[in-house]
Amino acid sequence: MCKLACAPAALVRSKLHTLRVLLLGLLLAASAALAQTPPPKLLVFIIIDGLPQRQVTGYRDQFAPDGFARFLDRGAAFSEAHFGHAVTVTAPGHATLFTGASPARHGIIGNEWRDPQTGAAVYSTGDATATYIGQRTQALDGTSPRNLKVETVGDVLRRADPRSRVIAIAGKDRAAILPAGQAGTAYMYMAGSGQFASTSWYMQQHPAWVDAFNAAKPADRYFQAEWKALLPEAAYARSLPDGRLGPRAQLPMRMGRPGDAKPNAAFYGSLLGSPFADALALEFARAAIAGEQLGRDDAPDLLVVSLSGHDYVNHTWSAESRLSHDHVLQLDSLLQDFFRDLDAGVGRDNYVAVLSSDHGFMPAPEWTLAQGRPAGRITGAAMVQRVNLALERRFGVARLVLGTSASALVLDRALLAQRGLDADTVAGAAREALLAEPGIAAAYTRRELEGGSRAGAMHFEAVRRSWHRERSGDVQYVTRPDWMFGTATATHGSPHDYDNHVPLLFWGPRWIRPQAVAAAVDMVDVAPTLARLLQVPAPAASEGRVLPLAAP
C-alpha cells in the first residue's frame, strides 16, 4: 500500500493543511470551552520549597489517596517542567512562577546579592522603610516587594477587579512577599515567636483573624512533640538510613531541646526543619480562607501557600535521606487533609489547585562519590582568594574582586577606576582564572552576556536568563555537575537538571482535563496559565505560553 510519502506533493500539502486546520479547531474549541466556564472562585497554589521532581516520581506508590495523588491520578501532571534560569534558588523561583518572567526581567537574581556599584549587601525582599507588625525587625529582613521590577498574576487580578483578594503565606519572608506582588498581602512565619506576621508595607495592624490565630499560640502545641515516621522501617529502603548524611539525627525526633522548660526562640526556629511548620502554614491558610472569606463571591481570589520545611530538611540531611523521604510523605498527608477542608469549605467545583516547587535539589556530593561519579565542594572565599592572586600577578593590584554575588564575581569598580584598569579586560582575566578552578564548568563576562557573543556555549542561555544588567556581577559562573558551594549537606542553585526539574501539577474538575504531559515545559509558562484560568491578561513581562489545560 502506498504511504503518504509516495503521494503527489499537492496531495501531501492538502492533507497537512487539513490536519493543521483540525488541530487549530480543537485548540480553539478547548479555549472557547474554558472561556465559557466562569473562573474558579479560588485558585490555590501550593509551593513546596526545594522539592525535586525525582522525589514525586520516586515515592508515588506510597502516597495517600488524595494528596499528591489528587493531581497525579485526577489532574494534569507535567513531568518535564524545568526552570530555564541558572541561579535556581528560592527568591528567583517564586518570582518567576508568578510573573512569567526570568530573573533577567523581574530583577530577583538571587536570595541576596551585592550592589555591583558599591558592593553593599542587598536582600531580595529587604526594605528598610517597612517593619514586621508586632515582631522584631532586623537589618536585611524581608519586608516588601520593592525589589521586584515587574507585575505578578495577583497584581493583574487585583487591577481587573479590586474585590479579588490575593494572600500569600510562607515559612520564609521572600516566599510570601514575591508571590503576593505589589497588590496582594504577604504573611510569613516568625521563627523567633512561632507566629505569623505581615509588615507595615501592607498594613498598619493585622486583621482580627490574624490576632486571634496568634493569640492561640498554635506553634506551642508542638513543644516536645515527636516527628514520627509515617511508615514501617522497611518502607524506607529506597532512601539512606538516618545518620548517613548530615548532622546525626533519627526518627522519632523530639521538638525542643532537652532541658528547655517551655517554648523559646530556638524551639520555634527548629520547627522549620520539620513537618510542623508546614502544618502551621496550612492551618494559617485555613484561617485566612475563613477570615478573608476567600472563594465566597464571583470575584476570583488567589491564595499562595509556600511550604518551606522541605528545603530546610534537604539542606540539612539531603533529598536522598530517610528524613527527606518521610517529609515528602508527611507533606502528602497534610495536603490530603487540607484538600478535604477545601472541598468542604469552598466546594470541589469552586476552586483550582496547583502544586509546584521553586527549585529542585542536588544530591549530596558524598552520596554521588559513593556511586562512583565525580563530585566535590567549593569554598567560595578560597576561590575568590585564588582569583585575586591570579589578577594581582597580571595587573599588580591586590583584591580586585570584592566577592561573590548570585553566582557571579563582583569587581571592585572604585579600585579599577583608581588604578586606571579596564573593567572588561580584568573581567576576562577573572574568567580565565575561574575556569582553572576544578569545580567550575563555565563562566561569562558582563560584555559577553550583554552582547550575546557566546550564544550556544555551555549553559549560556540559562546564565543570561539569570543575569540582570543593573544588579548582577561582572563574571557569572556555573559549577560542574555535582559540585557545590558551602558546608550544608546538600544544596541547589545551578542550571543542572537536578536543580531545575520540578513537579508541575494542576487539579480542578470544572477547568482541567486529567492528563499526563511528557512534553518539556518552561516554568515561565506557569503565570500566563494561571492568568488564563483566572480570565485576566498575563503579566506584562511574561515570557511564557499558556499550557494546554483543556477543559473537561
Q: Is the predicted pLDDT of residue 223 greater than 80, yes or no?
A: yes
Return the CATH number of the domain spanning residue range 376-481. 3.30.1360.150
Average pLDDT over residues 22-48: 70
Residues paired with residue 476 on neighbouring β-strands, in sequence order:
408, 444
Length of the chain, please? 552
Q: How far is residue 62's CA from residue 236's CA, in Å, rounded to a whole number?
A: 10
Total-model pTM: 0.93
Q: What is the pLDDT of residue 70?
A: 98
Q: How far is residue 461's CA from residue 458's CA, in Å, rounded to a whole number?
A: 8
Q: How far is residue 33's CA from residue 284's CA, in Å, rounded to a whole number?
A: 35
Strands 185-189 and 166-170: parallel
Q: How far is residue 31's CA from residue 24's CA, in Å, rounded to a whole number?
A: 10
Q: Is the predicted pLDDT of residue 31 greater than 80, yes or no?
A: no
Phi, psi at residue 261, to the nearest 5°? -85, -25
Q: How far is residue 133's CA from residue 147's CA, in Å, rounded to a whole number?
A: 20
Dihedral, 42, 46, 47, 53 alpha carbons, nearest 10? -120
CATH class of the domain whose range is 42-369+504-534: alpha beta
Q: Is the predicted pLDDT of residue 314 greater than 70, yes or no?
A: yes
Domains 42-369+504-534 and 376-481 agree in fold: no
pLDDT band, very low/low/confident/very high, at 35 (cuts 50, 70, 90): low
Q: How far is residue 351's CA from residue 461's CA, in Å, rounded to a whole number?
A: 37
Q: What is the pLDDT of residue 551?
A: 73
* Angle between helix 90-99 and helix 526-534 axes, rounded to 10 deg: 40
Going by C-beta distance under 8 Å and a sequence separation of 6 or more, which residues neighbour residue 509?
74, 348, 349, 552
Name the residue with higher pLDDT: 244 or 286. Answer: 286
CA R_g for the chain: 24
Average pLDDT over residues 154-168: 98
Percent of the chain with pLDDT over 90: 90
Dump pLDDT digits (tens) for 441-477: 999 999 999 998 887 899 999 999 999 999 999 999 9
Residue 36 is placed in which grid cell? 465559557
pLDDT band, very low/low/confident/very high, at 242 (cuts 50, 70, 90): confident
Grid cell 539525627 is found at 249
Q: What is the pLDDT of residue 456?
A: 82
Q: What is the mean pLDDT of the chain?
A: 94
Residue of 522, 520, 509 lying closest to 549 (CA atoms): 509
pLDDT band, very low/low/confident/very high, at 21 (cuts 50, 70, 90): very low
Q: Is the predicted pLDDT of residue 12 greater than 80, yes or no?
A: no
Report yes or no: 244 and 321 within 8 Å, Cβ to Cβ: yes
Average pLDDT over residues 488-511: 98
Q: Is the predicted pLDDT of residue 270 greater than 90, yes or no?
A: yes
Report yes or no: 306 and 94 within 8 Å, Cβ to Cβ: yes
Residue of 186, 183, 187 lying closest to 161 (CA atoms): 183
Q: Is the predicted pLDDT of residue 18 greater than 90, yes or no?
A: no
Structural domain spans, the chain: 42-369+504-534, 376-481
Q: How far is residue 443's CA from residue 447's CA, in Å, rounded to a whole number?
A: 12
Angle at 78 between CA 170 and CA 503, to 5 degrees: 30
Residue 298 is placed in which grid cell? 464571583
Q: Is the predicted pLDDT of residue 276 greater than 90, yes or no?
A: yes
Q: What is the pLDDT of residue 454?
A: 83
Q: How far is residue 194's CA from residue 280's CA, in Å, rounded to a whole number?
A: 9
CA 202 to chain centre: 23
Going by C-beta distance under 8 Å and a sequence separation of 6 or more, which residues neighbour residue 300?
39, 40, 41, 42, 43, 157, 161, 164, 534, 535
Dump pLDDT digits (tens) for 517-534: 999 999 999 999 999 999
Q: Is the predicted pLDDT of residue 6 greater than 90, yes or no?
A: no
Q: How far is residue 501's CA from residue 359's CA, in Å, rounded to a whole number?
A: 7
Q: Which burial class, exposed, middle or buried, applies to 11 when counting CB atoms under 10 A from its CB (0-12, 13-18, 19+)?
A: exposed
Residue 2 is placed in which grid cell? 502506498
Q: How far is residue 176's CA from residue 169's CA, in Å, rounded to a whole number?
A: 5
Q: Is the predicted pLDDT of residue 275 greater than 60, yes or no?
A: yes
Q: How far is residue 285's CA from residue 279's CA, in Å, rounded to a whole number?
A: 10
Q: Is the predicted pLDDT of residue 93 greater than 70, yes or no?
A: yes
